């Protein structure tokens, strides 16, 4: 992470943190600037560690920044959901004491072997007997494995479905569960309700499928992993408090026919990192209700372009604006017509070329899915001190909590 660099249009040198987007905009950056809020990610981590009735593990795919991984560790997160050997290596290198769980249900045999023998990974996900056999071969028949069988559950209550690619149907899970039970030191069941679940019912309904699968297979289950899907706040998507999700999950878990010592896990990604970052962009051109900005679909705004996600926006201008808000769409900087974000994004009607816009809640997937297409890159990142543009956590964690990091 850089501080200010003159080649990017940040004309004045600066060190340390700054108050917020307005301070950066005064420097007239020519490239997009990622505004990082470690305090927001740390607060989210503490919230899950203290309030979720089990063990949270961060889904690294949402944002694999080593700086963010360190912040979450400082906030108390010690377990990490990794989905590739590259993520295994990244977390092992960044946080050598962390516990890694390889939760992608389809893995290369070489990746399993390296994860097990080189990086100490002992938890693996699967959804077929064939994948189980692969894990057994790759680990040379190891007997210290936690094996989590992924069930297919509904994504009806979520904004983005994850119901079609992975997971065994509950009615067909018995052979997989029984085979995994024979190979595992600890047997788990996991699922994913989809991204941005808007009601706790998503989890309680999934837990009923877990119950049906356990009863049908007649196996002892040691871990129930409710996966990710915990929401953040976006325009038009204001979910209930996360405590309501935790309470529903806990009640459903307590009623399951599982081992008396069974553990409850979850895999938050978006909910831990969405508030970590926003983006400061410059308007390069206005054409009616369309704004041409210097980041887009091949940068941090992939979700805005390809799944129609709306993000909070704010005009950053000295003196602000008295004009009423109106709906705009965005075009990104590349030559591709697909580099378009339909929105609508609400901004003052007098916005013009040269103005700056802060686009919020991009810590999840925005930073992770950037490309260098057409030569447009990320610009630099700057730590800011202000609050994120939306939050599920503000005011919820007032008391300090112990950290994984010892300060001497």
* Positions marked active-site: 335
Farthest-apart Cα atoms in the chain, separation: 69
178 burial via Cβ count (<10 Å: 0-12, 13-18, 19+): middle
380 burial via Cβ count (<10 Å: 0-12, 13-18, 19+): buried
Cα 56 from Cα 91, distance rounded (Å) = 16
Contact 42/404 with Cβ under 8 angstroms?
no
Cα 296 from Cα 140, distance rounded (Å) = 46
Tokens 């999700």 — which residue?
A: 245
Cα 406 from Cα 408, distance rounded (Å) = 6
Q: How far does the chain reach from its first CA to its final CA, in angstroms? A: 25
287 burial via Cβ count (<10 Å: 0-12, 13-18, 19+): exposed
């Amino acid at each position: 992470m850089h501080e200010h660099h003159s080649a990017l249009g940040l004309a004045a040198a600066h060190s340390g943190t700054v108050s917020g987007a307005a301070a950066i905009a005064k420097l007239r950056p020519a490239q997009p600037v990622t505004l990082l809020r470690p305090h927001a990610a740390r607060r989210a981590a503490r919230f899950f560690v203290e309030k979720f009735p089990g063990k949270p593990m961060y889904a690294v795919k949402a944002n694999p920044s080593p700086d963010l991984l360190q912040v979450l560790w400082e906030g108390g997160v010690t377990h990490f959901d990794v989905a590739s050997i590259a993520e295994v290596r990244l977390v092992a290198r960044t946080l050598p004491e962390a516990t890694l769980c390889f939760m992608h249900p389809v893995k290369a045999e070489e990746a399993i072997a390296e994860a097990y023998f080189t990086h100490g990974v002992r938890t693996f996900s699967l959804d077929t007997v064939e994948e189980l056999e692969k894990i057994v071969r790759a680990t040379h028949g190891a007997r210290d494995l936690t094996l989590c069988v992924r069930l297919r559950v509904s994504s009806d209550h979520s904004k983005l479905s994850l119901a079609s690619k992975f997971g065994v149907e509950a009615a067909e899970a018995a052979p997989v569960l029984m085979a995994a039970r024979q190979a595992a030191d600890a047997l788990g069941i996991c699922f994913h309700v989809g991204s941005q679940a808007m009601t706790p019912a998503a989890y309680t309904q999934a837990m009923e499928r877990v119950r049906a699968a356990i009863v049908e297979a007649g196996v002892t289950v040691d871990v129930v992993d409710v996966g990710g899907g915990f929401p953040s706040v976006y325009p038009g998507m204001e979910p209930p408090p996360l405590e309501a999700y935790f309470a529903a999950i806990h009640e459903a878990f307590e009623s399951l026919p599982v081992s008396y010592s069974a553990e409850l896990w979850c895999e938050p990604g978006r909910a831990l990192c969405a508030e970590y970052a926003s983006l400061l962009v410059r308007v390069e051109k206005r054409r009616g209700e369309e704004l041409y900005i210097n980041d887009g679909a091949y940068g941090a705004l992939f979700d805005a372009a390809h799944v129609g996600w709306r993000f909070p926006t704010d005009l950053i201008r000295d003196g602000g604006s008295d004009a009423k808000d109106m709906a705009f769409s965005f075009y990104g900087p590349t030559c591709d017509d697909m580099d378009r974000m339909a929105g609508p994004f609400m901004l003052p009607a007098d916005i013009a070329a040269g103005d700056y816009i802060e686009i919020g809640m991009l810590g999840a997937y925005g930073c992770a899915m950037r490309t260098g297409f057409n030569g447009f890159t990320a610009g630099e990142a700057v730590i800011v001190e202000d609050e994120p543009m939306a939050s599920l956590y503000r005011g919820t964690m007032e008391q300090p909590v112990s950290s994984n990091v010892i300060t001497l």
